[in-house]
Amino acid sequence: MAVLLSSLNVRGLKNNVKRKAMFLFCKEIKANILFLQETHSGKEEETFWKHQWGDSILYSHGTTHSAGVMILFNKFAGRVIDHKSDGMGHWIMVLVEVCEQKIILINVYGYNNRSLNRNMMSNLSKLIAKWSTTYGSTQVIIGGDFNLAPNSWLDRQPQRGNQPEHESIICDLCTTTNMIDYWRMTNPNTKKYTWFSPSNKNVCSRLDYWLVSQTVSSYVTKCETQSTPLTDHCLISLLLSLRKQQ
């Protein structure tokens, strides 16, 4: 069974015209599960936005001008077993079952503060371990806008520092959860960015990516990036070809 996941920093959905355009774009790409960041959503919007989308949505609200993450479902053949969020608009964690497999999905929107980002990733690592034990699943996918470039030379323009350096916060998360940066693993020397400065197109970074557990990586058939209207981020997509476990 094919399951398509996509992720995008939308830079705010309060504007009705923009929200309609974004929802239409998201429908057109035919993703089954969508991670959106910087939604700027509030409790009062939940019912109306769900009606506009036409399918299930999970929320973690930020403020009217910052943060907020959502997971949108679109003709998803599986079911949601459990979900949890930080209540501050920076992450949602959901356990789904599809094709008789349980998968932990996490949508993240990283802080612009290293200390807060490190604390968030540490907490998520502990939650992953807890859910893995509780639900008997080692299959994990984390996606979103991490606000952290994994490699100071390959993932930034202009390069930062005097030599290539891996982002310790992401390295620590991957080590403790046994996960990999899937796109970088399959494109070891390629330079491709997902965020471009609105004021200077020569300033860009790869801030949006998928971290997948080793147990999930064998199911990935595509990991792609595409430009997107109405935001300074690119859409990232991950296509899984799932099969029932023997």
Positions annotated as catalytic residues are 109, 145, 233
Going by the annotation, the residues of the binding site are 9, 38, 145, 147, 232-233
Partners of 180 in beta bridges: 212
Query: Which long-range CB contacts under 8 A does 78-81 form with residues at least 24 apart?
Result: 78/3, 80/56, 81/135
Question: Residue 14 CB: number of other CB atoms within 10 A?
Answer: 14
Going by the annotation, the residues of the binding site for Mg(2+) are 9, 38, 145, 147, 232-233
What is the rounded CA–CA span in Å between residue 28 and residue 46? 22
Characterize the bridge pairing of strands 179-181 and 208-213: antiparallel
Q: Which residue has the tokens 């997971």?
A: 71
What is the rounded CA–CA span in Å between residue 193 and residue 225? 9
CB-CB contact of 51 with 58 (8 Å): no
134: amino acid identity, one letter: T
Q: Which residue has the tokens 């399951």?
A: 3
What is the rounded CA–CA span in Å between residue 241 and residue 217? 10
